[in-house]
Amino acid sequence: MPRSNEKAVTPQHWLRRAKSNLARAKQVRTDEILCEDLCFDAQQATEKALKALLLAKGISFRFVHDIGELLTTLEKGGVLIPESVKRSAILTTYAVETRYPGTFEQVSQEELLEAIQIAGQIVEWVELQLSNK
């Protein structure tokens, strides 16, 4: 699918996608749905929410999956990051390592619930930041 005009993409577009990923992460899990895949959605929700904020603040960023790098980029751009938000960097592992079959340990239901809770907190925090703009 061809890319649309990137100048038309707004922080709200990014936030909408973040909320979509968060909603998928929260879906009722069946035996056919792996915790790893839902944690990937939680990571994606966090990543896209942070990119929405970067875009809103006019801060250039690399298209990476590394939550820690995105947080550092926000800080360097003058955004005060609460410690509770910095905690979201732990979700980076779900971006690549657990997304494909491999030698990692399976993700537990408890880890999934934590990832969803963290992602939800980040989406809410970014929404607040965007509304205070």
Task: Kindly report the length of the chain.
Answer: 133
Percent helix, percent strand, percent coil in the chain, to nearest 5: 65, 0, 35
CATH code reported for the domain at 6-131? 1.20.120.330
Is 3 a residue whose pLDDT tops 70? no
What's the pTM value of the predicted model, to 2 decimals? 0.92
DSSP code, position 49: H
Domain boundaries, the chain: 6-131
pLDDT in tens, 75-128: 999 999 999 999 999 999 999 888 888 877 899 999 999 999 999 999 999 999
